[in-house]
Structure 1
Amino acid sequence: MTLIIPQRKVALAFLAHPDDAEILCAGTLLRLADLGWELHIATATPGDCGSNALPPDEIAKIRRAEGTAAAQVLGATYHCLEERDVNVVFDKATNRKAIDLFRQIAPSLVFTHPRLDYMLDHEQVHQLARSAAFAYSIPNASQLPLVEGSTIPWLYYCDPIEGSDPYSGEVVNPTVRVDISEVMDRKSEMLACHSSQREWLRAHHGMDEYIESMKRHSAMRGQELGSQYAEAFVQHRGHPYPQSDILQELLGGE
């Protein structure tokens, strides 16, 4: 099989909240970084409901800074659409913001949430990502300049929380698993940047559950692959998206 190399080696993780990328796909992003890819992490919200003690604007400021710090570990740029927690919707205004974000970044590879997940912010971001991935390279879809090499990207859906379909409870069967064993320390470092969430859970559970739960899920996917840790994805193969599995070709997943 001939490896298809995109004109633009730019990957975007577009997810709902700060720390979603670090939990769901940071290991794969780290491996792409090691191959010289330009990387971006974007969230729909700044995580303004992520505290029991701080008001929305204060915790949002903290979590934006955490998202930026985590992205810097990766050598990535952090972006936020500035929607609000538990209020993400697929409407005209938010769709426009998502398309314009994609237009500026011009990704050739995108990671986002699956269609079905445990909360609706994730499911709404899934729709925003699909819309923007399809539309951003259409000349008339945005008033922003069209970056040379813009095209419909490879699109992958991260695992839902706990890897389970929220309606059936069954574990999602991925189309590709990526070995992240050698970058787990750096993935953990990225997740640890989100200390506002980590410290709350550590105080509540009496252990570093924030990191450990991520490792447990990665170990489960790793066992399926025959490695210590892995991340799992379902590739979107609908018309007219790329049909080759670029993650398998670049990173040796299966």
Structure 2
Amino acid sequence: MDVDDILTSLARGLVEGADRGVALPLRLGRSAARVLDCDGAAITMAYTQPERVTLCATDDTALILEEAQDVTGQGPGPDAFTTGAYRHLELVDADDRLGSWPLLRFDSVPDLAPLVVHALPLGPTGEVVGVLTLYQRGLGRSIDLEVAGIVSRAVTAALLADVPTQSFIDNGPWSERAEVHQATGMVVAQLHVPEADALALIRAHAYSNDQSVGASAQAVVTRRLRFAASPDQEIETS
């Protein structure tokens, strides 16, 4: 398959749902998964940074994988973002120790086995702005990395051209990540710690409670969760 054929296939999938108002990132994720013979996909921008936001997850499996990597800071997605290189994970069974990413034995992730996860960095030459994560059910499956490179460049170009409207910011995934940013600022004010440390505490709370970072952030913003300002105080929840 040459470049034109790949882009034609991607564009063909991109059209599906456009007339029903399906958001561009979700259509991109679905189309990329189809072209690369995968079962699902997610697109996450600024993967390891405070402004991280998942623009789309095509199904529950893709969402579980993204939320687990967000909470733990481990997995092929974070590594692809920081290194700018393709990374993959084979989840063989529920007892798999997950090699370099042991914390990914979090929440529902082991139950997804057997599974292969592929993470492709997104961004213009020399810069990484996000990650396209795809998964394939079963084992012994792979993707054509040459085709994947073409797809990732096309997805990057489409996303960088798609400036979100205010409505999308207020109601879509940007809204949830804005809440994480707000919660991080509140923890900074509570504990007088750097922003990175505050976000790490929110992630730690999410990990301890088997929930997403967004759920812990919402608890902080709604003041159901407050981090103590002194060592002799405990984390307050209500």
Compute the TM-score of the two structures, normalised by the length of structure 2.
0.32
Q: Point out the structure with the larger helix share.
A: 2
Compute the TM-score of the two structures, normalised by the length of structure 1.
0.30
